[in-house]
Amino acid sequence: MKSKTIKVDYLARVEGEGGLEVKIKDNEVTDAKLNIFEPPRFFEGFLRGRKFTEAPDITARICGICPVAYQMSSSHAMESACGVSVKGQLRQLRRLLYCGEWIESHVLHIYMLHAPDFLGYQDAIQLAKDYPDVVNRALKLKKLGNDIVALIGGREIHPINPRVGGFYKVPGKEELDKFVEPLKWGIEASLETIKLTATFPFPDFEQDYEFVSLRHADEYPLNEGRIVSSKGIDIEAKDFLDYFEEEHVQHSTSLQAKVKARGHYLVGPMARYNLNFDKLPEIARQAAIEAGIGEECRNPFKSIIVRATETLFACHEALQIVENYDMPNRPYVEIEPRQATAHWCTEAPRGLLYHRYSIDDNGIIKDARIIPPTSQNQKAVEDDLRHLVGKNLDLSDEDLTWKCEQAVRNYDPCISCSCHFLKLNIKRE
Amino acid sequence: MMNNVASIIVVGIGNEFRNDDGVGLYVSHSLREKTDEEIKVVNGVPDGFALIETWDESSHVIVIDCAASENIPGTIYRFDALKEKIPSGLFDGFSTHSISIVDAVEMAGTLGRLPKSLTVYGIEGNNYSPGRCLSPEVKIAAERLVDRILEELR
């Protein structure tokens, strides 16, 4: 009987603190774990007793990479609770802000965290030595995303301008016009990014995922839509907890989500792409097809091409919004609180982000629930590890470990976001 | 918006809600009040990558950050980053998703995008718990550093 364990104590090039452990016995994978030991964050607890208008600012602090996602899901949920819908140019500005976040987050992952895996470098600094033009393009493209978030959001990280009902202040037409040329460049740079990532060597590895994302009748999903899956789910956000559940496992401070009826599922760029290919602009569909991923991509290593395609979408969408912008008369819609429970999902860069709030007639938050994308993907990551190791048992331990780390990085996991606990039980004897 | 690079740039780095970690921002805010508009003051950058985008080859750059090397709180460090290597363990460490100042300088060098001059100041901190107060010895050091940088800028 021969057994061995592949263990990475601290994963590099991911956000937050986690490791992985795969156990092998007699050439069979017996266990695969994504160990998450980042401390729990207790944000849902912080929210109780606060005003409904504070949720966007409090939840933005969950993440430095995707604060906009938290602001959007919480603002929409509160508006839904109060029976208000934000439309027109305010809605467009929200989409523009979200595009900025997608660009900066995706570009960071594609070039700085993920590309080194395929090109055989330890990090982006080593990569910069041999590919200076590529890294310079990445820095400029990421800054374009940052600049959009800074203009609409008030600053790049933890924006201060979004609020329930819209924004505190909206930009003038001339401020957005300054983005026309940079966004045209961004579209070209994204096309180059897709071409570059298509040349990477990808392992032959496909999984039978259940993809879950939003789907909207007219647009590639960002702020709203029905929750759909590749195995037949088609529901409103309010029904999320009827179909999905979270459970606690010993090796993770993040709860792990699953489809109640079946088990693990996948959210994020690959899920959005597979479920909404028809909603991408023509230029993005064509570039993706030319890059060889087709209308359906099931190889998680190729998620880097999908992220590049979504970066192209985000630049394209942002340009449309900028070119058709008319400064709204009012920066926000007045909202009167009322007792209600509301649910909302938006598409964070890493996937579906569910928020649920109960508020009273004075707008005080009585209960909150937040389910971030990385929590939802944990089981899929572990399933990938199990199958990947099973298919590559002939590799040396060193090569196998490197492959496992890559398998986790395929997901661009945001471990800090994922660490939420619903309850803290203290036993005293 | 995109390329408004001034010739003298002061960049404060840190988290203002983590007590002494905000000392770089305290210094950059003070310098903004005490210098004219000709000097570009940047109060915080999203990450090390964005730091590279704040300057161009003709810029004179001063970066101020909190140092955490278990030295005496309030100790001021100064490095001419174009001539000497910043010792490891001073500024780097905790960010896994992005890069530290030390890495940003290395990457800028690799890309041939270093500014004309790059001075990195560090102030040793003591208390990084949540809050918005500098420790007394760190605040004294910050005031001294503001005067010292003003002197350098003259």
**Does B50 contact A143 at a Cβ distance shorter than 8 Å?**
yes
B93 pLDDT higher than 80: no
**Distance between CA B36 and CA B59 in Å, rounded?**
17
Please give the share of chain A, as a percent, with pLDDT higher than 70.
95
Distance from CA of B103 to the nearest CA of A (A): 7
* Contact check, Cβ <8 Å, A142/B49: yes
Q: Is the pLDDT of residue B134 over 90?
A: yes
Q: Considering only CB atoms, which chain B residues are within 8 Å of A104?
A: 46
pLDDT at A9: 78
pLDDT, greater one: B115 or B44: B115
Mean pLDDT over A303-315 rounds to 98
Residue A423: pLDDT over 60:
no
Give the mean pLDDT of B118-136.
94
Mean pLDDT of B6-14: 88
In chain B, which residues have their Cβ closer than 8 Å to the Cβ of A136?
Answer: 111, 113
- CB contact B46 to A (< 8 Å): yes
Please check the confidence at residue A429 and state whether its pLDDT lies above 70: no
**Would you say residue A54 has pLDDT above 80?**
yes
pLDDT of B113 strictly over 70? yes
Give the residue with greater pLDDT, B75 vs A124: B75
Query: Is some CB atom of chain A closer than 8 A to the CB atom of B72?
Result: no
What pLDDT, in 10s, does the model give residues A256-297?
Answer: 899 999 999 999 999 999 999 999 999 999 999 999 999 999
Tens digit of each residue's pLDDT (9 = 90 or more) over A83-99:
999 999 999 999 999 99
Q: Which residues of B touch A142 (CB under 8 A)?
A: 49-50
Any A CB within 8 A of B52 CB: yes
Average confidence (pLDDT) over B83-89: 84
Contact: B107, A146; criterion CB under 8 Å? no
Q: CB A142 to CB B97 under 8 A?
A: no
Chain A contact present for B97, CB below 8 A? yes
Whether the predicted pLDDT of A73 surpasses 70: yes
Three-class SS of chain A: CCEEEEEECCCCCCECCEEEEEEEECCEEEEEEEEECCCCCCHHHHHCCCEHHHHHHHHHCCCCCCHHHHHHHHHHHHHHHCCCCCCHHHHHHHHHHHHHHHHHHHHHHHHHHHHHHHHCCCCHHHHHHHCHHHHHHHHHHHHHHHHHHHHHHCCCCCCCCEECCEECCCCCHHHHHCCHHHHHHHHHHHHHHHHHHHCCCCCCCCCCCCEEEEECCCCCCCCCCEEEECCCCEECHHHHHHHEEEECCCCECCCEEEECCCECCECCHHHHHHHHHHHCCHHHHHHHHHCCCCCCCCCHHHHHHHHHHHHHHHHHHHHHHHHCCCCCCCCECCCCCCCEEEEEEEEECCEEEEEEEEECCCCEEEEEEEECHHHHHHHHHHHHHHHHHHHCCCCCHHHHHHHHHHHHHCCCCEHHHHCCCCCCCCCCC
Q: What is the mean pLDDT of residues A184-192?
A: 98
The answer to whether B96 contacts A140, with C-beta atoms less than 8 Å apart, is no
Res A39: pLDDT: 67
Chain B residue nearest residue A109, CA to CA: B97
- Span A220-233, mean pLDDT? 98
Asked if A65's CB is within 8 angstroms of B50's CB, the reply is no
Query: So what's the pLDDT on residue A402?
Result: 86
Check whether A393 has a pLDDT greater than 90: no
Q: Which two tokens stand for residue A212?
A: 């879950």
Mean pLDDT, residues B44-72 taken together? 89
* B5 pLDDT tier (thresholds 50, 70, 90): low
Q: Mean per-residue pLDDT for A63-79?
A: 94
Contact A113 B113 (CB under 8 A): no
Look up the ipTM and state it. Answer: 0.83
| Contact assignment for B96 to A15 by CB distance below 8 Å | yes
pLDDT band at A424; cut points 50, 70, 90: very low
The residue extents of the domains of chain A are 3-428
Report CB contact under 8 Å: B99, A125. yes
Chain A CB within 8 Å of residue B137 CB: no
CA distance A11 to chain B (A): 9
- Interface contact B96, partner A, CB < 8 A: yes
- Give the distance from residue B151's alpha carbon to the nearest chain A alpha carbon, in angstroms: 31
CATH of A3-428, one of 3.40.50.11540, 1.10.645.10, 3.40.50.1820, 3.90.580.10: 1.10.645.10
CB A128 to CB B107 under 8 A?
A: yes
Count, residues in chain B: 154
A5: pLDDT strictly greater than 90: no
pLDDT at res. B37 = 76
- Tell me which of B17, B43, B107 to substitute to probe the interface with A (most A C-beta atoms closer than 10 Å): B107
Q: What is the mean pLDDT of chain A?
A: 91
Task: Please answer yes or no on whether A124 and B50 come within 8 Å at the CB atom.
Answer: no
Inter-chain residue contact A125 with B103, CB threshold 8 Å: yes
Averaged over B141-153, what is the pLDDT? 94
Position A255 pLDDT exceeds 60: yes
Q: If you average pLDDT over residues B6-16, what whole number do you get?
A: 88
Residue A19 vs residue A194, higher pLDDT: A194
Judging contacts by C-beta atoms under 8 Å, the chain A residues touching residue B2 are: 143, 147, 178, 182
pLDDT band at A123 (very low <50, low <70, confident <90, very high): confident
